[in-house]
Structure 1
Amino acid sequence: MEYGDEASDLEELRGHELELPSSEVRESLTSTAYEILRRSTILGDNTGHKVAVGIVDLEPVFEHDTVPKRSPHAFVKVIAKNTSQYALLPGPSNVFFDNNFVAKTSMKSVSPSEEFTCSLGVDPSVRVAYRPIHKYRETGGIISKTTTTTYRQVIEVKNTRQDAIKITVHEQLPLSSEEKIKVHLLEPSIKDKNDKTNKPVRMDKNNNIVWLLEVASCSSQDLVLKYTVDHPSGEEIEFTETAAAQA
């Protein structure tokens, strides 16, 4: 990842990599100053120019994230720790994979020794299929006042990459706002809904079911969400999408 406005920035910066000495950093309570230790020519043409401050090599961890109900794509993000002496300034950034420009992103301010996350956009090598939902109804008899409808949703995550991936999948479990409508989760099994630790399957504060998966190279996994909705017979229920469906 490099700062700048043009894809050619990477080639220019890498061209100086061998000759680029470390910049000296001086910090105060309100500011950070970088002293560039090599000479640079800045033209007086009333336009902006860039000077390379340094090249920082970090050890990032790549993870994927998807909300299939909203978008059948897997988004990749980088989690890294700023192990350099430089404070990373906020602003637009260019993203390169294998010296190829792939996306633009925005960086927040990152201090030395601080961990940060950066979004890298859609990974086309990871495919997410949101299958049509299946439902069927059951009644307790002719005089029953309650109808039970069972819903079964299948999500397929397929990894076509040559390496394994870690991916977080979010799917919303309906939440009833009326006492006469009851929602019961059947699958997956979550024993303690108040446990918010990073377990393989958990429920978050927005009533989302969250799967934490590791999908091997060139393989796929099916995730199943199954639940029942009890409601008064003769009445139709309608699902309304809310912010709870967001990751």
Structure 2
Amino acid sequence: MRETGYKTTDGRRGGVTVFLLLVAVVVAGTAVFVAGRASAPERAAPVGYSDRLVRGVPVGFAGTPRGAGDAAAAYVVAVSAAVGRPEAERQGLIDIIAVDGSGPAVVEMMGAGTPPAGNAGISQTVAARVWVADVDLNAQVPAGAEVTARLLVCALIGSMTDGVVAGPETGLAGGWYVQSVTVRWIQGRWRVVAVQRPVPVPPPDQRGARRDGGPRDTQPLLDVLSARSWVPGTV
């Protein structure tokens, strides 16, 4: 019988070779991944909504159009909540958030003027959406730059209760508005420059309920409900 001209293959040796090749591929892939992570630009962590506080007022907003919108929303909420506080405290708040000379206008336009009698009232503004004109929302702005933000807000006002008895006057009045606020980037902080009077807009419809027959001018809502608007304080 003739002997074959081919040598017998050692199965164990072939398996070891395949295993070593797989190990080499894994090691090479890991090295490429690590090198890519090391060379990739590091993403900056988003600035928190209230990482910095001055007398309880959030001021740690990024120097970007998005940061400007978040600051405008926070300032409107803070000024509204200041109704009923001592005059010195309210003035201190205005000094923090407004540029020199604009304080009285800010107080009047944001509705935080005269406190209710006996300090027994509730005054609150909730900012639901923020919109800034068609710019790069995350671009750093230069010193002195101004940004105008439009806010969709719900303003509430009413009398406090004793938490026990609900009288006939119990409840909150208010409505929905679009508020325009212009802020300026000064010394690493946003400060209010000008505020326009809020424009009333239709409230959200209750699901399954008929509309109340009130004005339905939805034009002021186009910006604040667009795809470019956002919930204040989110990234």
TM-score range, shorter chain: under 0.3
Higher helix share: 2
Normalising by structure 2, what TM-score? 0.22
The structure number with the bigger radius of gyration is: 2
Relative contact order (alpha carbons < 8 A, sep ≥ 6): 1 or 2 greater? Answer: 2
Report the structure, 1 or 2, having the larger strand content. 1
